[in-house]
Structure 1
Amino acid sequence: MLHFLNFVWCVAFVFIIGEKGSAYSLAVSNSSEEYGYYNIYNKIDSMQKAFQTLETNVQRKNNMLRQILQPITKMDDNIEMSDQSSQVTKTVQPLQKNDTAVGFTTRLQHTTYSSSSSIIRGSPILYNGGNAYNGTVFTCPSPGLYLFHVSMLTNTKSGGIWIYKNSQKLTLAYAGSDPQWNGASVSAVVWLDVGDQVYLRPHISTLFIDGNSAFTGVKIN
């Protein structure tokens, strides 16, 4: 009987110990699960805060970059508009005739001159800027450096044309001694003051000039 009671007490003790152990394990398990959930929530919150901080920093840097690039963009736009306006101006504005330019071109009159003191006439006058050439003499309207050129076509033996400044001979266009058709040309650059005169005279007493001969003068400076 005593042995049986001892056995019963042992079984009861083991059962009690087992129940307490189960309760303790369950409590520990529940506590661990709750602790795990708590850590996950904390991590999620931390990640959300980190993303918010990152987004704020990115927006701030974008604003700074926009402020830096905005003046450069405006400068590029201004340069492009300036280039376009200059191109439009160049395209739209036509070339204007300069009425103050001094110069002339004339064909020489188709005729024969019988004296070396004759002044060779120009006709027709093709251009006469400044109206300084009257068909025989160019009279300087403003001081400066001038260029004159004469080209001659003739069949007169030893024919030629002198360019004169006032009473001074400058240069000679000489056609040569062959009595066949010959051409000759010559140029002269000369400084003129107001009132100085430039004109053409024959080299010899008798000179025939073809109408395709020409005389040109222009102020170059």
Structure 2
Amino acid sequence: MFHILNFVWFVAFVFIIGVKGSASLAVSNSSEEYGYYNIYNKIDSMQKAFQTLETNVQRKNNMLRQILQPITKMDDNIEMSDQSSQVTKTVQPLQQNDTAVGFTTKLSGSYSSTSSNIRGYNNLYNGGNGYNGTVFTCPSSGLYLFHVSLLSSTKSGGIWIYKNSQQLTLAFAGSDPQNNGASVSAAVWLDVGDQVYLRPYSSSLSLDGNSAFTGVKVN
């Protein structure tokens, strides 16, 4: 009888432990499933949040492009205008220099007649090709300025500026028989074909090579 009771208690004990184990296992499985469910929900929520953020960023980028596009066009126009003005500044003086009428030449030589034309030997500039080395022939009507400077050791040496056959102004070096300097200018209106040139003041004139003759159209 004692053995039978022990067996019954043993079976009951095993049954109770089995029920508790099953219950614990059920609770454990339920917790795991609940945990996985929460993780998936969070992942879905994060994906939706990222999608919403990406959509907002794209919308704001489009708005910024619309706002900045006119400003970018303005900058491009300003840059093109600056480049155009720089090109104009670079090219314009070249065009002016190409069409400017004027010359500068150095003078030298010895002369023994007041009817001799004084010659240039080194043309520094000859815009418009009006000066042929002795006489300037006007290629374009307008107001001209002429200037002559001389260095000479000739006593009472001097130079006249002529327009056609008319004496305009005189550069006179004085009576000291040493190297003397003098200069003179003349502003005169010229028509096409008028001629300007230089002649000695006296029948004897010797010029230093640093003497010069300049003419330029001013208007």
TM-score by length of 2: 0.62
Contact 2:163 2:196 in 1 (8 A): yes
Distance in 1, Cα, partners of 2:92 & 2:122: 33
1:191 paired residue among 189, 192, 196? 189
Give the total of aligned pairs.
172
1:178 paired residue among 176, 179, 182? 176
Deviation per CA, 1:2-54, whole angstroms, max 9, x where unpaired?
Answer: xxxxxxxxxxxxxxxxxxxxxxxxxxxxxxxxxxxxxxxxxxxxxxxxxxxxx
Aligned to 1:83: 82
Contact 2:150 2:181 in 1 (8 A): yes
Aligned to 1:160: 158
Distance in 2, Cα, partners of 1:168 & 1:208: 23
Distance in 2, Cα, partners of 1:202 & 1:88: 48
1:104 aligns with 2:119: no
SS of corresponding position for 2:189 = strand
Deviation per CA, 1:178-212, whole angstroms, max 9, x where unpaired?
Answer: 11111111111111001111011111222221222
* 170-179 vs 118-127, greater mean Cα deviation: 118-127
- Counterpart of 2:195, as a letter, is Q
Aligned to 2:134: 136
Shift of 1:88: 6.7
Moved over 6 A (4+): 59-66, 91-94
Distance in 2, Cα, partners of 1:96 & 1:138: 22
Shift of 1:215: 1.0
Distance in 2, Cα, partners of 1:148 & 1:201: 14
Q: Where does 1:45-56 land on structure 2 (aligned, <5 Å)?
A: none
What RMSD, in angstroms, separates the aligned Cα atoms of the two structures? 3.8
Distance in 2, Cα, partners of 1:92 & 1:170: 38
Q: Cα gap change, 1:86/1:125 in structure 2, threshold over 3 Å: closer, same or farther?
A: closer
TM-score by length of 1: 0.62
2:212 paired residue among 205, 209, 214? 214
Deviation per CA, 1:80-135, whole angstroms, max 9, x where unpaired?
Answer: 34335644776799946844332222221322x22222221222333322222222
Q: Percent identity?
A: 85
SS of corresponding position for 2:173 = strand
**What 5-or-longer segments of structure 1 have no aligned partner?**
1-58
2:198 paired residue among 189, 197, 200? 200
SS of corresponding position for 2:136 = strand
Q: Cα gap change, 1:89/1:153 in structure 2, threshold over 3 Å: closer, same or farther?
A: closer
Aligned to 1:126: 124
Distance in 2, Cα, partners of 1:159 & 1:74: 70
Aligned to 2:7: none
Distance in 2, Cα, partners of 1:120 & 1:168: 16
